[in-house]
Amino acid sequence: MLKQISVFLDNAPGELAKFTKILMEEGINLRAITVAETADFGILRILVDNVEECMKILKDANYLVSLTDVIAVEVPDRPGGLHEITKILGDAHINIEYVYSTLLKEEAMIILRVDDVEKAMRILKDEGVKLVEKQEF
């Protein structure tokens, strides 16, 4: 299980650049990102190399932030790789609330927010799916 940071940003030109500059200047490595937006604001969901330090930095910079438990799994970078994971979770009646991806070494990595993290992790492990642990980042 990984900790994902959600950050609320104004939906305005330059806001993402301002945010990423803070991370850069403080030495925080951004490993995965997705953005959901509305007319007024954006919600960034990020995985970083140092969650605790990043949370402190962002709070000190007056960003509204929260932590969420997510699952990250290695998926073969080929057609059907994502389908295998979604089928396992769907068959176990686990709802996927959202998903995004990035690359990890030679494999794709998908990040999943699900309604039952512990059950999902157990089932995925039982099915032989490789979960990505924080220290592998």
- The DSSP line for 17-74 is HHHHHHHHHTTPPEEEEEEEE-SSEEEEEEEES-HHHHHHHHHHTT-EEEEEEEEEEE
Question: Which pTM value belongs to this model?
Answer: 0.87
**What percentage of the chain exceeds 70 in pLDDT?**
96
User: What are the structural domains, with CATH classification, of the chain?
Assistant: 2-68 (3.30.2130.10), 70-136 (3.30.2130.10)
Four-point Cα dihedral 88, 91, 93, 94, nearest 10: 10
- Interatomic CA distance for residues 20 and 24, integer angstroms: 6
pLDDT at position 95 is 97
Class of residue 72 by CB neighbours under 10 A (exposed 0-12, middle 13-18, buried 19+): buried
Q: Is residue 1 within 8 Å of 69, Cβ to Cβ?
A: yes
pLDDT at position 137 is 61
Kindly tell me if the per-residue pLDDT of 24 is higher than 80. yes
pLDDT at position 94 is 97
